[in-house]
Amino acid sequence: MDSDFLNSTLDKLIIKVVPMENLNGRELVESGDLCERRNGRGVDLNRNWSVDWGKKEEDFDPYEENPGIAPFSEPETQIMRKLALSFDPHIWVNVHSGMEALFMPYDHKNRTPDGVMSERMKSLLENVNLLHCHQRCMIGSGGGSVGYLAHGTATDFMYDIVNVPMAFTFEIYGDETASTKDCFKMFNPTDFGTFNRVLNDWSAAFLTVFKLAPQQIGEVPYKASVSKLEKWVSIDEYLDGYLMERSSRYGKKKEVFELGMQEIRTYFRLFLLSSVLLMFMFCSRISKGKSSRPIVSAIPL
């Protein structure tokens, strides 16, 4: 790829990279539990998103695929959702390992979406497979390609809810000869030659995506950005942002009076609760006053 063209392409892009979503799960793996895929609370983060959340297939494994008690019950998925809604990305890539594949939506259905943009996504993946995966990569919907459906995944949320025009899952490495109990070998290159090949191939693959995807997105009208309703935040999120902004502008001592976030949330909730109770008492008093009035018949006696 021509370096001048590459530099001009990168100058027009904003790229945000989250190098590790599951920090606590990673610590469990590094401590010796090499097959652990869940977070520190035992939840599979790629089943904790809201699209088709909680649906269980016949082969559902409650240990392996624990979706959490509710969509976005986990802080990791909450952070990723907030990032996506604030950023409005045009391209989303969720990077996995375990096999070599280029997946597009859907994970919870055994088919790809309808429409021109879906065809453009598939065409882009075919180019990446030819140029960088050397025709080894499986292409298609996650649900239709791997032999099972996955519900509550990040890629389906990004495509269906955030309306990212191109949402992908890249499986960048897998050792098919490894035992299912040897998760380190199954998911990771074990020699420098293979490691460098994977690094070079997939770095180039991302550069190809950066080069081709904006052209294809610009040629096809795509769904409008996420609705304003999706951008509403909770009281806790509002207070977090408010206090962070005030603290950075005026200093914590002056504006926040050394009160912790938990105390401020508690006071705010008590204020709301007291307001509701006062309104209830006021309405009850009006209702009681009305019921004590004499009843006047509308029919002449």
Which class is 3-220 in CATH? alpha beta
Nearest to 23 by CA among 35, 33, 38, 7: 38
Domain ranges of the chain: 3-220
Nearest partner of 204 among 6, 20, 18, 8, judged by Cα:
6
Give this prediction's pTM. 0.73
Token pair listed for 285: 């008093």
- What is the per-residue burial (b if ≥16 Cβ within 10 Å, else e) of 158-176? bbbbbbbbbbbbbbbbbbe
What residues pair up with 263 in beta bridges, in sequence order?
none
Here the tokens at position 230 are: 């999706």
Catalytic residue among 126, 171, 176, 245: 171
pLDDT of residue 11: 84
Longest dimension (CA), the chain: 103
If you write DSSP's letter for every residue of 14-65 in order, what string do you get?
-----S-S-HHHHHHHHTT-TT--S-TTS--GGG-SSTTTT---TT--TTTT
Task: Give pLDDT, residue 226.
Answer: 44
Assign 167 to helix, strand or coil.
strand
Q: What is the pLDDT of residue 168?
A: 97
* 171 part of the active site: yes
Over its C-alpha atoms, the chain yields an Rg (Å, rounded) of: 26
* pLDDT at site 5: 72
Per-block average pLDDT, block size 10, for the chain (301 residues)? 75 88 93 93 96 89 90 94 89 94 96 94 96 94 91 96 95 93 93 95 92 81 46 46 45 40 53 61 54 43 39
